[in-house]
Amino acid sequence: MLIILDGLGLRDTRENNAFRLARTPTFNRLFKESPWSTLDASQEAVGLPAGVIGNSEVGHMTIGAGRILKNDLVRINDSIADGTFKDKGEIKNILTYVKDKGSALHLLGLVSDGGVHSHFSHIPPLVKCAKAAGVEKVFLHAITDGRDTSPYGGVDYVRQTELALSEIGIGQIATVVGRYYAMDRDRRWDRTERAYRMFVSGEEEKADSAVEAIEKSYSAGVTDEFIEPIAVSDNDGEFHNIAPDDAVLCFNFRADRMRQICPALGSGDFSQFSTLQSPIRLTSMTVYKDNFDFPVVFGSQSIEMKFGEVLAQADFRQLRVAETEKYAHVTYFLNGGDENPYDAEERVLIPSPQVATYDLQPEMSAYGIRQAVVKAIDDESCDAIVMNLANTDMVGHTGDLNATIRAAEVADEVLGNVLEMVTRKRMVAFVTADHGNCEVMVDEETEREHTAHTLNPVPFVLVNGASDMHLRTKGSLSDVAPTILDAVRLPIPNEMTGSSLLES
């Protein structure tokens, strides 16, 4: 069994460390009695550039692949650096479409340097491509972050972007909206609809500049993630919505939080709310979903012999359990970007609570996950279980220390309940995390709430292993799958370049 506690990193200091401040009897016992190690979950250890925090997509992809993958951020950066970016076929195609129509190109995505869903350094190269192709109208729909970056960093990212556009000589910001609305992934369609209506009709609040819009939100106590949809006028007082003959290029490279807004804009069979116009031409930076028919700039990487694939070939009955906020992580991402389950792979989805922010319900759906997993173990209906507890990540993102302490305590409680059943059934379990978050709740430099992931290592604990099984003291997420396969006496495929951390 593999248990992933999302966003639980390790840091010695207790101050503003929700994990260390929480009552965690289960972890206290595990760290005292069980073999455990620490794993690097960020930067080069998971295929990201130096200094870039880990994230849930990359963490689960790395765990499932059993090797370090070339992350989409790195793929795009390399393409820009070596000059092949401008020659990408689908970039050329969308620019040709816009030029032939005499219409506008709209760039839509998260404007920050978080490197989790996007990177704002990719915007200028796109605008330069448009200018070189003779496109005259380029508009940016800026989604503000505040979750993978400082809650107040958006205004600086927008200023830097506006300066870059000014230097290129083309392009302007047409709208501003927080990711809470434009990047919902949990089927809260009312949020998605507000962003959609602003993009295509200019409904919602108006502002004379993007910086003004953001600063006004700050003054009202609204941080980047929660900025309400705002249409921004140009110097002539005109607003630039997405018109039927226009085209949209979504430059986010992570899939899960673009799966609601993109079909609303570009799919003919979208039915979650009433759309205001026919589907527009839309291109995505990467594959957002296998059954989307949008053109894609960077196709999926082929990953052979993944963790779940090896288990399936060994006829293991698999169970994947998570709540909706993390459902894609234990399925799509863990399976290397493949939507389809393996043979004998069952998936259990527990709805996340319908609250505005998870500090209001830090328990989230952990108890529902516990019930599903304990029942499956007791029934002996599966051979391999992967479960994700979202609490320490999703509540950690709110910046509320007390709520995140509660989240850590709930996760520890549920972990203890599950491991009790694991022990009763004489199963072997591994406990880890995909990246850090809850262990840093205040930014030391700004002394404001810290809502982003961290560079800290994560735990890796062996539970109920043979008495002669021990773990090397240091590894990375790419070592998780090889270690588990080694523990259950399955061969580690050559494609997995991670190492088993088991020592006998």
Question: pLDDT tens digits, residue range 92-136?
Answer: 999 999 999 999 999 999 999 999 999 999 999 999 999 999 999
Give the architecture-level CATH label for domain 73-298: 3-Layer(aba) Sandwich (3.40)
Pick out the chain residues at pLDDT < 50: none
The per-residue DSSP string of 84-125 comes to: -GGG-HHHHHHHHHHHHHT--EEEEEE-SS--SS--GGGHHH
The CA angle 334-282-144, to the nearest 5 degrees, is 70
User: Cα–Cα distance between 252 and 299 in angstroms, integer?
Assistant: 13
Q: What is the pLDDT of residues 280-336, one digit of tens each?
A: 999 999 999 999 999 999 999 999 999 999 999 999 999 999 999 999 999 999 999
pLDDT given at position 204: 85
Report the phi/psi class of residue 429: left, alpha or beta, with left for phi > 0 and alpha for psi in -120 to 50. Answer: beta
The reply to whether 79 belongs to the active site is: no
pLDDT value, residue 196: 98
Task: Quote the percentage of the chain above a pLDDT of 70.
Answer: 100
Is 251:108 a contact under the CB 8 Å cutoff? yes
For the chain, the structural domain boundaries read 2-70+303-503, 73-298
Asked whether 460 and 475 are in contact (CB, 8 A), the reply is yes
Catalytic residue among 37, 42, 56, 79: 56
* CA gap 336, 328 in Å, rounded: 11
Q: What is the pTM of this model?
A: 0.92
> CA of 495: how far to CAs of 302, 304, 342, 487, in Å?
12, 7, 18, 18
CB 476 within 8 A of CB 460: no
Give me the pLDDT at residue 504, please: 72
User: What pLDDT score does 203 carry?
Assistant: 82
Which residue bears the tokens 């059993």?
Answer: 66
The H or E element that residue 467 is part of is: none
**Are the C-beta atoms of residues 150 and 443 closer than 8 Å to each other?**
yes
Burial class of residue 132 in the structure, from the number of CB atoms within 10 Å of its CB (0-12 exposed, 13-18 middle, 19+ buried): exposed
Paired tokens of 35: 């073999």
What pLDDT is attached to residue 467?
87
Please give the torsion angle defined by the CA atoms of residues 355, 361, 363 and 366, in that order, rounded to the nearest 10 degrees.
-10
Other Cβ atoms within 10 Å of 315 Cβ, number = 9
Closest to 463 (Cα-Cα) out of 11, 28, 23, 36: 36
Fold of 2-70+303-503: Alkaline Phosphatase, subunit A (3.40.720)
Contact 249, 280 (CB under 8 A): no
